[in-house]
Amino acid sequence: MAETVFEHLDGKNTFTISTDERHWKTVLAKLAERNAETQLVAQNGDGSVMYRVPASWVRVRPPAKRTLTEEQRAAFTERMKQARS
């Protein structure tokens, strides 16, 4: 089972992210290449990694809820078909 843990200690301005999920490992590795603020803390023998990132980068946002009419939905579907072709 893959797992990702976001840890924040009160009074600290960083999050520690531990993960063995391929998606998060890739995202964090790319961030570390481009930003000095992302620090690799550990690479564990089990394949998991631990990174430290600024707390201001971590957000929890629910997905946007859109209420579309049938006409808007049909127009959106058509635009997506055109964009994919």
Confidence band (pLDDT; 50, 70, 90) for 64? confident
The model's pTM: 0.71
Could you give the 3-state DSSP secondary structure of residue 51? strand
**pLDDT at residue 66 greater than cutoff 90:** no
**pLDDT at residue 52 greater than cutoff 90:** yes
Residue-number span of the structural domain to which 50 is assigned: 4-62
**pLDDT at residue 21 greater than cutoff 90:** yes
Q: Does 44 fall in a domain?
A: yes
The number of distinct structural domains making up the chain is 1
Q: Does 76 fall in a domain?
A: no
Mean pLDDT (whole number) for 21-25: 95
Q: 9 near 52, Cβ under 8 Å?
A: no
Tell me the H-state helices in 1-85.
Answer: 22-34, 70-84
| pLDDT attached to residue 1 | 80
Q: Does 81 fall in a domain?
A: no
Q: Does 79 fall in a domain?
A: no
